[in-house]
Amino acid sequence: MLTVMKFGGTSVGSLEAIERVSKIVANTQGNKVVVTSAMSGITNFLVACCEDLEYMRKDTLETFESKHLEVAKAMLDDKQYAEFMKEFKPRFDNFKALLYDEEAAKNPYYMDNVTSQGERFSSLLLCHKLRSMGYQSIALTSEDCGIIAEGKPLNGNANLRMTETNMGINVMPYISKGYIPIITGFYGVTEDDLPLTFGRGGSDYAAAVVANALNADMLEIWTDVDGFMSADPRVVPHAKKIDEMSYGEAAELAYFGAKVLHPRTIEPVRKKHIPLKVRNSFKPEEKGTLISRYREYSNELLRSAAAKTDLSIITISSPEIAYRPDIVAKILAKISENDDSLYSISTSLSTVAFLIHNNDVKSTLSKLYEMDNADVEKIDVTSDVALICCVGDDLISTSGVSGQIFSAVKEVDANVMMISEGASAVALNFVVRNCDVLPVIKILHERFVEEDEDYEEAE
Ligand code: ADP
Ligand code: ASP
Ligand code: MG
């Protein structure tokens, strides 16, 4: 049995947290591999440092050093601390050199390199804590493992095939000898040996990539909530934990804004049918949420809702669209030249509308303006909208369900601007203005999750 265990920022954010997760690792049966995020707050700090390197680099180095060394001193005895310093020092010297390297700072992947530094130190702390408890453990960077990443800066994708080959060579031998490898999350390395991050929150995806590469039996994502919930508990305090979900349900919700999992976490594990659990590192006695190929039918109209905010609808008018499908193909080909994510597409007799991130509007428009006037008559942009993703049983197959959802949305006077129903087998998606997201999520939860629960309790 091989379990890949990923710990998020708050789960390794303090001395107490590191001690707590070390016990969780120690108490897990069979072989285990750990993937860790940076200590909470560290990546934000590194992002800020990149934005004003001149002003921030000295402060960053001091804060960074003291935060990690304080924890190491408190949890290790003198001999163990000396061992820790042997690994900490070269990593810290590299980091310092990087912050003063004017040439490297010109590279488009420089910010990836700087922001990936946090994971290199949290992994060392966890590794040395486990050693102090008598376990054989080794801290491996993504470079050591050979986790290969491709793509644009700050938005990498893993090359699963190459990563699997590399990890078979670089990591498997440690597992066979009984070591617990502690691997840096968040980033992989390009073919030019440069760190490339997987986007913010990317340690979940990195862990899924590691689970895929090692053919793990289970991936556990340890975080600060009881599991995957019916809504973001920060928005809906009564959100309830979901016991079981299918890959499809979790993937839709993660892609459309449920921050508990990085949007691309599901794909690498789904490919090999590796089950995934979301668990609370502050309450290891809780079972969490199991995400796998199958789940029991639960007769819940709405199981969970998420929202992706800060999107824009781009509507292109052309009187010919209905008779010339090639125009839609041309428009999509143009937009995809930028490699930006498209969140939804819908067409009518004379328009095609699609949903992209606010930040991608400018570059998308510049591509569309390159098109022939005969193909594109008019372009309208509506910014600051959000896509609400609802996942539930029979949401798509039962008639009248969407009517119930939209009449709840009407109760809070929100205007539905675009709908996607039927494209996904498990989700009903629609677009509202950014400012309507909170009331919409709250009313949906109240009507279809909380009232359902009251009903169950009354029975
Ligand atoms: P980590 O640092 O462990 O990766 P994150 O902050 O990235 O943790 O993700 C966990 C947070 O995701 C929770 O604290 C919660 O506020 C938020 N969240 C958003 N949507 C959901 C959801 N549907 N279920 C659970 N948590 C959610
Ligand atoms: N440390 C990175 C971030 O804050 C990756 C992660 O936590 O998943 O985005
Ligand atoms: Mg996260």
Structural domains of the chain, with CATH: 2-292 (3.40.1160.10), 304-458 (3.30.2130.10)
Distance between CA 43 and CA 72 in Å, rounded? 19
Residues with Cβ < 8 Å from 93, sequence gap 6 or more? none
Give 241's DSSP letter.
B
Distance between CA 177 and CA 311 in Å, rounded? 49
Terminal alpha carbon distance of the chain? 41
Residue 294: predicted pLDDT? 85
Residue 394: predicted pLDDT? 72
- The dihedrals phi and psi of 46, each to the nearest 5 degrees, come to -70, -35
The DSSP element (H or E) to which 103 belongs, if any, is: none
Give 106's DSSP letter.
G
Give 359's DSSP letter.
G
- The candidate with the shortest Cα–Cα distance to 242, out of 176, 179, 286, is 286
Q: How far is ligand 2, taken at its centre, from the CA of residue 241, in Å?
A: 23
Task: Point out the ligand nearest to the CA of residue 223.
Answer: 1
Ligand 2 pocket test, pick from 200, 223, 259, 265 with the greatest ligand atom count within 8 Å of Cβ, gives: 200
* Upper half-sphere CA count for residue 285 (Cβ side, 13 Å): 0
CA distances, 458 to each of 187, 449, 450, 455 (Å): 49, 14, 12, 5
Would you say the C-alpha torsion 382, 384, 388, 389 has a positive or negative sign?
A: positive
Q: How far is ligand 3, taken at its centre, from the CA of residue 38, in Å?
A: 11
Residue 321: predicted pLDDT? 80
Q: pLDDT 10s digit of each residue in the chain, 459 long?
A: 999 999 999 999 999 999 999 999 999 999 999 999 999 999 999 999 999 999 999 999 999 999 999 999 999 999 999 999 999 999 999 999 999 999 999 999 999 999 999 999 999 999 999 999 999 999 999 999 999 999 999 999 999 999 999 999 999 999 999 999 999 999 999 999 999 999 999 999 999 999 999 999 999 999 999 999 999 999 999 999 999 999 999 999 999 999 999 999 999 999 999 999 999 999 999 999 999 998 877 778 889 999 999 999 999 998 778 787 888 888 889 988 988 888 998 888 888 999 999 999 999 999 999 988 778 889 999 999 999 999 987 776 777 778 889 999 999 999 999 887 767 778 899 999 999 999 999 999 999 998 766 545 544
Distance between CA 399 and CA 273 in Å, rounded? 32
Residue 456: predicted pLDDT? 54
Distance between CA 126 and CA 32 in Å, rounded? 14
Distance between CA 283 and CA 130 in Å, rounded? 20
Q: How far is ligand 1, taken at its centre, from the CA of residue 150, in Å?
A: 26
Residue type, 210: V
Residue 381, both tokens: 């942009």
Is 405 in contact with 444 (CB distance < 8 Å)? yes
Atom number in ligand 1 closest to CA 222? 3
Residues with Cβ < 8 Å from 64, sequence gap 6 or more? 42, 45, 95, 117, 121
- The candidate with the shortest Cα–Cα distance to 163, out of 208, 197, 201, is 208
Is 411 in contact with 457 (CB distance < 8 Å)? no
Distance between CA 444 and CA 305 in Å, rounded? 8
3-state SS class at 136: coil
Atom number in ligand 2 closest to CA 201? 8
Residue owning the nearest CA to atom 6 of ligand 2: 201
Residue 454: predicted pLDDT? 58
Question: Which residues are 429's β-sheet partners?
Answer: 389, 420
Ligand 1 pocket test, pick from 119, 203, 223 with the greatest ligand atom count within 8 Å of Cβ, gives: 223
Distance between CA 285 and CA 304 in Å, rounded? 23
CA distances, 174 to each of 5, 77, 86, 126, 215 (Å): 16, 25, 20, 17, 15
Residue owning tokens 């095609």: 352
Provide the pairing of β-strand 218-223 with 2-7. Answer: parallel
Distance between CA 390 and CA 40 in Å, rounded? 30
Residue 8, both tokens: 């998020």
Question: Which residues are 55's β-sheet partners?
Answer: none
Residue owning the nearest CA to atom 8 of ligand 2: 201
Distance between CA 222 and CA 276 in Å, rounded? 11
Q: Does the predicted model carry a pTM greater than 0.85?
A: yes
